[in-house]
Amino acid sequence: MLYDDKWQDAYYHALHKCAERYRDMIEEGIEIDDLSPEMIELRNFTYEFMFGTRDKLPLLKLNRWLGYIQGVLIERGYTSVTAERDWTRPLFRPLDFAS
C-alpha cells in the first residue's frame, strides 16, 4: 500500500469537506435563480461525489470528480480558481508532506 489507512482517512475527509462546500454553493445558487437542468444534474453529481467519499471509492476517481465539479462551478461563476486554491490548500497541502 502506497499510503497508510490514517493518511487515506484524512484524504477522504478532506474530499468530503469539499463535497459539502460545493453542495452548499449549488443549493444556494438553485434557491436564488439557477434552476437550469445542468445545475440540477451537477447537484446530483455532487451528492454522488459526497457519498463516494463516505463509501471510499477509489481516490483517483474522486479526484477526477472533484476537478469536474470545481471546473463547472468556476465556469458558472460560483467560485474562482484562486478562491478554490486558497480554500483547498490547507486541506490537502499537509497531506502532501505527511510523515
- Cβ(84)–Cβ(74) under 8 Å? yes
Q: Rounded to whole angstroms, how far apart are CA atoms 69 and 47? A: 11
pTM for the model: 0.86
30 vs 90, higher pLDDT: 90
pLDDT tens-digit map of 26-56: 988 766 666 788 888 999 999 999 999 999 9
Please give the mean pLDDT across all residues of the chain.
Answer: 89
The C-alpha cell 451528492 sits at 47
**Residue 87's closest CA among 96, 76, 79?**
79
- In the chain, the percentage of residues whose pLDDT exceeds 70 is 90
The amino acid at 81: V
Name residues whose C-beta falls within 8 Å of residue 95's C-beta, 6 or more positions apart in sequence. Answer: 7, 10, 11, 14
